[in-house]
Amino acid sequence: MQLPDPQRVLERIARLVKLGGWLLVEDVSFTGDVKPEGDAPAVRMSYRLLCEYWESNGQVPRVGENLESWLRQTGSFSEINAHEVIIPVGNHPSTPAVAAVQNSFQQREERVVDPKLRVLALIFTEASRRSFAAEKLHPRMLALGYTPELKRQCMEQYGTLEWWMDVPLHFVWARKSV
Determine which helix (DSSP H) or strand (DSSP E) holds 148, and give its type and residue range: helix 148-160
> Which tens digit of pLDDT belongs to each residue from 50-103?
999 999 999 999 999 999 999 999 999 999 999 999 988 988 544 443 333 334
Answer whether residue 15 shows pLDDT above 80: yes
What's the pTM? 0.82
In a domain, 43, yes or no: yes
Please check whether residue 118 lies inside any domain of the structure.
Answer: yes
In a domain, 67, yes or no: yes
20-50 pLDDT per residue, tens: 999 999 999 998 899 887 789 999 999 999 9
Residue range(s) defining the domain that contains residue 57:
6-176
Q: Is residue 19 part of a domain?
A: yes
d(Cα 132, Cα 154) in Å, to the nearest integer? 8
Rounded distance between C-alpha atoms, residue 26 and residue 1, angstroms: 10
Q: Which of 45, 50, 32, 41 lies closest to 162 in space, CA to CA?
A: 41
Do 64 and 169 meet the contact criterion of CB atoms below 8 Å apart?
Answer: yes
Residue 38 lies in a domain: yes
Number of folded domains in the chain?
Answer: 1
CB crowding 95-117: b at 16 or more within 10 Å, else e: beebeebeebbeebeeebeeeeb
